[in-house]
């Protein structure tokens, strides 16, 4: 009997850190994989329903157990079968050091730093290049994109430049893949960007919705072209609705910045990164084919950004190990609460971030509203109209969402008429009308100067239409 | 020991039973794949560096269980998300955990790209021949004849043959290691555990992309007991999805080069983006408002020719010259297919302070390299404007209708004499400079030197071309 009594002890010693199993009934689903796994038939199907789960856990008889451990390897449940050094509740007795969640340090955010750039001459580069340079100066070293005219040269420049800065350029298999690579990089807390054009932007919308839902930052530069469908590759503005109202499924919003010049392509791309990380939300730089392809004077800023590491990032280190990036909120109340937090963020953005550029609006009786390249034509038209005695002004939203209604409201009260100039079927006008309506302002008399299909409204068109609106009698419109 | 959370707080708040048990059905293979993943991460000592990408499918809640960095991806995009994560933080150990609908159907493009890129990530592909999460529909790996919710009479020819992903991935150049394993008995489970550990170890060693396909039981949707589901895998799936190592070049493949931290040095950045600190000399005394023809605040040029004539480069040099002189200028090309061989034209606008409309529908200056360009755009030239054209290519153009100045320049002939026909645009620029007196010659030459910054060997040739072009129209 002495020998028998000693046997298990000898076995325990021989099997080093192995031990015999115990079943934790609440955590055993009774699948029986361990029954087949045990070569000594120590485990059998259970008979008693576990009150906590309604399932029938297995039963173990350890008389013949050799502590081979095969049952552990067969159990699909992490805590269903436990080595005997766990107590009956399944709690681990101190044995081997573990990286417990409780012991994980709370990450401290590493803030962004600003570094001075050498002073220099202006660059003479095209708009998409300026946007790429802006991204680099904002600390973006990760580009994921798919070639599409008229945005491609931006990707080409990133492909040329990023290797010199130990950055990463990936030509993705599609725009769908590109936006999801951005999601991955953004989740890791790095500044990533992509350049695309209208059809490609459509493909990115699912990913953008996930970014909004999971609060992942990233900058998408969409160079709008003529649509719908393939349309053409000439400049357009008909993604305003998509960017401002239809950013994928769900109640999504993202700041939408509308550059008019190559200089603004740089400035607003840099701003986009800051806003994107400030609010943990994607930001859209909504350009048109003209401003993207146009070469012009681009003065570099005095400083560039050295990005830090946000506390929320899944950065692949101990400090950030507890972080999770997800847009899943299974319970309705949780998702509703979470969406309310999103909406509160949108409200903060709506308060703090609207931007507009006003040209000769102070005494304007006739207000032209335009963005992107058409705003340049409109500005020229304002000059011409002023020379002809028409008190015209240009209101140019730099943020299409949030629409800068606070800046528009005071000038709107003076202006008798508004002329919206755009290369779409009233998408900018709709944003403005919605903003006016939401602000409970009286809707002014609105005239549209629209061109489509890759055609931008010209200076002369704007002038003649405005003259027609401002001085209908002068044109003999008396009938 | 493993990298499972001590308590599954994300599983419905971790209350009660859910704090220690998974959401999987009894006998589901996912739990085993999770377990081997969790144990491998722990045994390789990389728990802090690990980032698990949760897919859409039954494993959508992987992040409930694995105590590591967690990112949940859209359906099919886990491997794209994994790539982004890995490139962003190359020290992290990124595991893309995907099911058969996610990886082999909606995410085919993403997995093929990730595999072929070969960047060290680890993909665990759980193949259970069914869509579990959505309720038992046909998967790309569903067997022929297998009844599912969307193949109620059994998978037929119109639904396609099952996809063998391990074999597909193994034939790509990128991966270093591809193996298919199963879970139905002790022996297979030992192999599965080893394969998953190896797949992660190869990433830890920075060796490359690893893909482990796990044939996994879904007793619920197969309508089988867990034990019968194990048998079904062995008897039905194995003939279609043979187990084993499909590719292993991990011993012979060089490790990836060490990943460098992105360069954020301002001097390096400034140089890379083309920032120039040298002051560019100015030669203009004032904006060329009244040198020729009636011009308001703004001068419009159109440069047109066939693709390859160099109209865009010439336009860029004019814009650069104007900006060097402290004026504003824009250049907008016609872009797209026609700029790759057909007609190519460029609009340039120059203003003292700010160019407004960048288009040049009524140019003051036209530079036409061929007859179609001259015929198309000359009628648009503003009154008092100048049309310069390549008289080698267009020796005898019809008389213009409007009161414009015409300036022929034998650009192609002069360029040919110089031995390089591609400098005809520089010859034409010389003619433009001389004929229009837009800016001093030195302004243009400075811009040409800037444009040729990376090709100094061509500098002298271009300067000669410019001067010969200018000389050819002098005295007109």
pLDDT tens digits for range A51-89: 999 999 999 999 999 999 999 999 999 999 987 755 445
Q: Which is nearest to A35 in space by CA: A48, A49, A21?
A: A21
Structure tokens at B391: 């008289």
Helix B311-324 to helix B441-451 angle, to the nearest 10 degrees?
Answer: 120
User: Distance between CA A266 and CA A138 in Å, rounded?
Assistant: 10
List the single residue in A55, A124, A317 with the smallest CB-CB distance to B323: A124
A146 near A176, Cβ under 8 Å? no
CATH topology for A356-470 is: Rossmann fold (3.40.50)
| Residue A231 with chain B: CB contacts under 8 Å | none
Identify the pLDDT of residue A178: 98
**Which among A471, A451, A449, A448 is positioned nearest to A385, based on CA atoms?**
A471
Q: Look over chain A and give the mean of its residue pLDDT values, rounded to a whole number.
A: 91
**Strands laid side by side in the A399-401 sheet:** A168-171, A142-145, A192-197, A218-224, A282-288, A255-257, A399-401
CA distance A306 to chain B (A): 6
Check pLDDT > 50 for residue A13: no
Nearest Cα residue in chain A from B361: A458
Distance CA A353, CA B421 (A): 54
**Cβ within 8 Å, pair A116-B277:** no
- Among A47, A67, A55, A48, smallest CA distance to A28 is for A55
Query: Which CATH architecture describes the domain A8-93?
Result: 2-Layer Sandwich (3.30)
Q: CATH 3.30.70.20 region(s) of chain A?
A: 8-93
The Cα–Cα gap between B46 and B31 comes to: 20
Region B76-105: mean pLDDT is 98
pLDDT of res. B292: 54
Is pLDDT of B400 > 90? no
Q: How confident is the model at residue B454 (pLDDT cuts 50, 70, 90)?
A: confident
At A479, the pLDDT band (50, 70, 90 cuts) reads very low
Q: Chains A and B: how many Cβ contacts under 8 Å?
A: 344
- Quick check: A183 and B74 CB within 8 A? yes
Residue range(s) in chain A whose domain bears CATH number 3.40.50.920: 356-470
Question: Residue A240's Cα: distance from chain center in Å?
Answer: 17
pLDDT at B475 exceeding the cut of 70: no
CA distance B148 to B154: 7
- Residue A98: per-residue pLDDT: 40
Give whichever of A160-164, A452-456, B292-296 has the largest mean pLDDT: A160-164
- Measure B428 CA to nearest chain A CA, in Å: 21
Query: Which residues on B lie below 8 Å from A31 (Cβ)?
Result: 26-28, 219, 226
The distance of B279 to chain A (nearest Cα, Å) reads 7
> A 273-332 residues with CB below 8 A of B?
289-290, 293-297, 300, 304, 306-307, 314-318, 320-321, 323-328
% of residues, chain A, pLDDT over 90: 86
CA–CA min distance B412, chain A (Å):
27
State the ipTM, two decimals.
0.94
What is the assigned CATH class of domain A120-352? alpha beta
Domains and CATH numbers, chain B: 12-248 (3.40.50.970), 298-473 (3.40.920.10)
pLDDT-derived band at A416 (thresholds 50, 70, 90) equals: confident
Tell me if residue A108 falls in helix, strand or coil: coil
pLDDT single digits (tens) A296-332? 999 999 999 999 999 999 999 999 999 999 999 999 9
Q: What number is the average pLDDT over the span B72-98? A: 98
Confidence of residue B290 (pLDDT cuts 50, 70, 90): low
What are the pLDDT digits (tens) for B134-159? 999 999 999 999 999 999 999 999 99
Please tell me the predicted confidence (pLDDT) of residue B338: 47
Work out the minimum CA distance from B417 to partner chain A, whole angstroms.
Answer: 32
| pLDDT tens, position by position, A130-140 | 999 999 999 99
Interface of A with B in 182-221 (CB under 8 A): 182-190, 192, 206-207, 210, 214
Give the mean pLDDT of chain B: 93
Q: What is the pLDDT of residue B457?
A: 86
Contact B20 A27 (CB under 8 A): yes
Nearest to residue B85, comparing CAs of B259, B263, B272? B259
State whether A181 and B276 contact (CB < 8 Å): no
């Amino acid at each position: 009997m002495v020998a028998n009594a000693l046997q298990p002890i000898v076995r325990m010693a021989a099997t080093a850190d192995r031990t015999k199993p115990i079943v934790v009934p609440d955590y055993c689903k009774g699948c029986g994989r361990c029954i087949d796994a045990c070569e000594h038939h120590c485990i059998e199907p259970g008979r008693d329903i576990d009150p906590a789960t309604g399932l029938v856990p297995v039963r173990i008889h350890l008389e013949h157990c050799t502590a081979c451990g095969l049952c552990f390897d067969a159990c699909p449940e992490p805590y269903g079968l436990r080595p005997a050094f766990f107590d009956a509740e399944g709690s681990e007795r101190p044995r081997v050091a573990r990286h417990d969640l409780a012991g994980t340090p709370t990450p401290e955010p590493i803030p962004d730093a600003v570094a001075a750039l050498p002073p220099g001459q202006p660059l003479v580069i095209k708009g998409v290049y300026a946007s790429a340079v802006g991204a680099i100066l904002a600390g973006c070293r990760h580009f994921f994109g798919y070639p599409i005219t008229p945005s491609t040269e931006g990707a080409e420049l990133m492909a040329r430049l990023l290797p010199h800065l130990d950055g990463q350029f990936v030509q993705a298999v599609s725009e769908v893949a590109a936006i999801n690579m951005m999601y991955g990089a953004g989740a890791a807390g790095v500044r990533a960007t992509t350049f695309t054009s209208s059809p490609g932007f459509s493909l990115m919308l699912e990913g953008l919705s996930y970014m909004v839902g999971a609060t992942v930052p990233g900058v998408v530069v969409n160079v709008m072209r003529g649509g719908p469908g393939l349309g053409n590759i000439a400049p357009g503005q008909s993604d305003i609705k998509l960017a401002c109202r239809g950013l994928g499924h769900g109640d999504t919003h993202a700041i939408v910045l509308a550059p008019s010049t190559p200089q603004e392509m740089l400035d607003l791309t840099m701003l986009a990164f800051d806003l994107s990380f400030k609010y943990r939300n994607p930001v859209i730089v909504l350009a048109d084919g003209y401003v993207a392809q146009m070469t012009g004077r681009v003065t570099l800023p005095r400083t560039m950004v050295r990005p830090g590491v946000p506390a929320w990032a899944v950065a692949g280190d101990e400090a950030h190990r507890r972080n999770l990036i997800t847009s899943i909120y299974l319970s309705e109340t949780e998702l509703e609460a979470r969406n309310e937090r999103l909406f509160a963020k949108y409200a903060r953005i709506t308060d703090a971030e609207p931007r507009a550029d006003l040209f000769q609006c102070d005494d304007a009786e006739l207000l032209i509203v335009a963005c992107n390249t058409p705003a340049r034509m409109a500005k020229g038209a304002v000059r011409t109209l002023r020379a002809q005695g028409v008190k015209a002004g240009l209101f140019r939203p730099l943020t299409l969402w949030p629409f800068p209604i606070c800046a528009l409201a005071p000038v709107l009260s003076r202006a008798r008429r508004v002329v919206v100039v755009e290369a779409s079927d009233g998408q900018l006008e709709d944003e403005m009308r919605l903003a006016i309506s939401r602000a409970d302002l009286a809707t002014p008399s609105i005239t549209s100067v629209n061109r489509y299909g890759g055609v931008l409204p010209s200076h002369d068109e704007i002038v003649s239409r405005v003259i027609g609106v401002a001085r209908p009698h002068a044109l003999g419109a008396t009938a | 020991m493993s990298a499972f959370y001590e308590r599954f707080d994300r599983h419905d708040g971790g209350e009660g039973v859910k704090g220690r048990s998974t959401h999987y059905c009894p006998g589901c293979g996912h739990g085993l794949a999770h377990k081997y993943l969790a144990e491998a991460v722990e045994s390789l000592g990389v728990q802090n560096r690990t980032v698990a990408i949760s897919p859409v499918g039954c494993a959508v809640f992987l992040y409930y269980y694995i105590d590591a960095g967690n990112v949940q991806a859209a359906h099919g995009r886990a491997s794209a998300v994994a790539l982004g994560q890995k490139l962003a933080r190359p020290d992290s150990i990124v595991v893309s955990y995907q099911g058969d609908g996610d990886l082999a159907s909606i995410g085919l493009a993403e997995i093929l790209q990730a595999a072929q890129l070969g960047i060290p990530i680890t993909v665990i592909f759980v193949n259970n021949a069914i869509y579990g999460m959505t309720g038992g529909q046909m998967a790309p790996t569903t067997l022929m004849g297998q009844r599912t919710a969307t193949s109620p009479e059994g998978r037929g020819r119109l639904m396609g043959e099952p996809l063998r992903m391990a074999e597909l991935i193994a034939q790509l150049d990128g991966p270093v290691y591809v193996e298919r394993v199963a879970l139905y008995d002790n022996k297979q489970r030992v192999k599965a555990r080893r394969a998953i550990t190896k797949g992660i170890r190869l990433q830890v060693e920075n060796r490359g992309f690893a893909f482990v396909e796990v044939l996994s039981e879904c007793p619920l949707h197969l309508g089988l007991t867990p034990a019968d589901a194990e048998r079904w895998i062995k008897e039905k799936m194995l003939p279609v999805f043979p187990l084993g190592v499909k590719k292993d070049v991990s011993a012979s493949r060089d490790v990836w080069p060490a990943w460098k931290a992105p360069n954020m040095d301002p001097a390096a950045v400034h140089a890379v983006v083309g920032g120039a600190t040298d002051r560019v000399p100015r030669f203009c005394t004032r904006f060329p408002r009244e040198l020729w023809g009636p011009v308001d605040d703004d001068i419009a040029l159109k440069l047109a020719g066939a693709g390859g004539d160099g109209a865009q480069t010439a336009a860029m040099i004019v814009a650069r010259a104007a900006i060097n002189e402290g004026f504003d200028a824009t250049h907008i090309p016609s872009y797209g297919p026609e700029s790759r061989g057909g007609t190519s034209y460029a609009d340039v606008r120059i203003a003292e302070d700010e160019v407004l409309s960048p288009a040049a529908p009524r140019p003051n200056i036209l530079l036409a390299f061929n007859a179609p360009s001259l015929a198309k755009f000359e009628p648009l030239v503003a009154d008092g404007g100048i049309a310069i054209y390549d008289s080698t290519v267009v020796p005898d153009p019809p008389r213009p209708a409007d009161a414009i100045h015409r300036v022929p320049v034998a650009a192609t002939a002069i360029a040919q004499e110089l031995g390089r026909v591609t400098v005809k645009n520089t010859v034409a620029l010389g003619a433009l400079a001389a004929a229009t007196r837009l800016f001093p010659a030195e302004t243009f030459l400075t811009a040409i030197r800037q444009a040729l910054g990376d090709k100094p060997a061509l500098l002298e040739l271009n300067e000669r071309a410019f001067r010969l072009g200018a000389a050819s129209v002098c005295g007109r």
